[in-house]
């Protein structure tokens, strides 16, 4: 380790920092992930001219720039892996099984609200916008479709705002979709302006229940590949929050390697093997659609 460019984290410093991260975000770093925290933050200590992680913890918790530094820390420690059309079989369930009856149920109000929670760099909400665009076709102009992408990482949302992506982000995108909804120049893919205008982005920490409440009731929530970083308590909290914020006939989609079995008093699984999706239990479904 070069003392010029990196700083080592001791077990007790890691414990203290992991608790701070957990209290703020629900992200659980077990001992085995100590190297991630160390490697991602040690350069930050060098930038700040801090000698060790004790000083960093003090800076983070007592300094005048606390909230800026929390943001900077989350920009660095979050794992933002994503892609367009990630897990296509699940999206097919959304497109063929969930969306058609939902659009029928909303035919009177012509209002559809979709939340992509923990959307990283925006590929997921843009994918959902493409699917809704495809489903509504020319009828889209008569509808009020709101798609919101939120994340705790400001840096990830800045990428989302540009609407420009590398070929890597496009790796699971069907050819037809690429040509219909993107413009490519020098290996950079720019999303169609019509799709871009269907999606808004906002900074949001899934721990913040009040902010979630302010966003109102959603017809569909996608929350994929983030609950793997949470412990049972945080998962319970987040699933409870989704149950408050979903319409009675709304649907929650989670990641294919995640489960909410042990923390779920609110939802029942829909019978689609590839769907990983849930609807509010009828007994608790009291909100108006
Ligand atoms: C692996 S990405 C998943 C992106 C997308 N949902 C997908 O499945 O492709 C996980 C994202 O969760 C975000 N995240 C982690 N903890 C969060 C929290 N407490 N609140 C909001 N977002 C969080 C990270 O910043 C990261 O962008």
Residue entry with tokens 């009675």: 248
pLDDT attached to residue 287: 59
Note the pLDDT tens digit of each residue in 26-64.
999 999 999 999 999 999 999 999 999 999 999 999 978
Ligand 1 atom at shortest distance from the alpha carbon of 82:
9
For 179, the token pair is 């040509």
How far from the centroid of its chain's Cα atoms is residue 183's Cα? 25
How sure is the predictor about 86, in pLDDT bands with cuts at 50, 70 and 90? very high
Cα(25) to centroid of ligand 1, in Å?
A: 11
pTM confidence score: 0.95
Would you say domain 88-284 falls under CATH 3.40.50.150? yes
pLDDT at 1 over 50: no
Residue entry with tokens 């063929």: 96
- State which fold the 11-77 domain adopts: Chemotaxis Receptor Methyltransferase Cher; domain 1 (1.10.155)
Cα(120) to centroid of ligand 1, in Å?
A: 5
For 13, the token pair is 């410093």
Note the pLDDT tens digit of each residue in 215-234.
999 999 999 999 999 999 99
**Sign, Cα dihedral of 243, 245, 247, 251:** negative
pLDDT attached to residue 262: 87
Active site residues: 40, 151
Distance CA 193, CA 197 (A): 6
* Pocket residue to mutate for ligand 1, from 78, 127, 170, 277, most atoms within 8 A of Cβ: 78
pLDDT attached to residue 11: 96
| Higher pLDDT, residue 261 or 100 | 100
Every domain of the chain and the residues it spans: 11-77, 88-284
pLDDT at 99 over 80: yes
- Selection from 126, 129, 47 nearest residue 82 by Cα: 126
Question: Nearest C-alpha to atom 9 of ligand 1 is from which residue?
Answer: 82
Tell me which residues have their CB closer than 6 angstroms to ligand 1: 25-27, 78-82, 86, 118-120, 124, 151-153, 156, 205-207, 224-226, 229, 255
Helix (H, G, I), strand (E, B) or coil at 180: helix
Question: Nearest C-alpha to atom 10 of ligand 1 is from which residue?
Answer: 226
* Pocket residue to mutate for ligand 1, from 123, 226, 236, 254, most atoms within 8 A of Cβ: 226
pLDDT attached to residue 120: 98
pLDDT at 259 over 70: yes
Note the pLDDT tens digit of each residue in 126-150.
999 999 999 999 999 999 999 999 9
Cα(56) to centroid of ligand 1, in Å?
A: 24
């Amino acid at each position: 380790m070069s003392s010029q460019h990196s700083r080592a984290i001791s077990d007790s410093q890691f414990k203290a920092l992991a608790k701070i991260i957990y209290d703020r975000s629900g992200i659980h770093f077990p001992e085995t992930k100590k190297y991630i925290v160390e490697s991602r933050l040690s350069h930050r200590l060098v930038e700040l001219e801090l000698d060790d992680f004790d000083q960093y913890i003090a800076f983070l918790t007592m300094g005048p720039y606390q909230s800026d530094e929390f943001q900077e820390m989350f920009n660095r420690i979050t794992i933002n892996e994503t892609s367009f059309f990630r897990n296509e079989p699940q999206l097919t369930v959304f497109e063929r099984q969930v969306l058609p009856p939902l659009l029928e149920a909303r035919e009177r109000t012509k209002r559809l609200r979709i939340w992509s929670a923990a959307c990283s760099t925006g590929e997921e909400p843009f994918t959902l916008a493409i699917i809704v665009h495809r489903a509504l076709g020319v009828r889209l102009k008569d509808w009020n479709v709101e798609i919101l992408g939120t994340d705790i990482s400001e840096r990830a949302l800045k990428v989302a705002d540009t609407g420009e992506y590398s070929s890597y982000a496009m790796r699971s995108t069907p050819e037809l979709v690429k040509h219909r909804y993107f413009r490519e120049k020098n290996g950079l893919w720019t999303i169609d302006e019509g799709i871009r205008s269907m999606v808004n982005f906002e900074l949001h920490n899934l721990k913040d229940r009040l902010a979630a409440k302010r966003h109102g009731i959603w017809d569909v929530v996608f929350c994929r590949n983030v609950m793997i970083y949470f412990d049972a308590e945080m998962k319970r909290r987040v699933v409870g929050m989704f149950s408050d914020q979903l319409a009675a006939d709304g649907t929650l989609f989670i990641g294919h390697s995640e489960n909410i079995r042990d923390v779920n008093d609110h939802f029942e699984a829909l019978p689609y093997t590839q769907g990983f999706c849930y609807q509010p239990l009828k007994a608790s479904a009291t909100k108006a659609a």
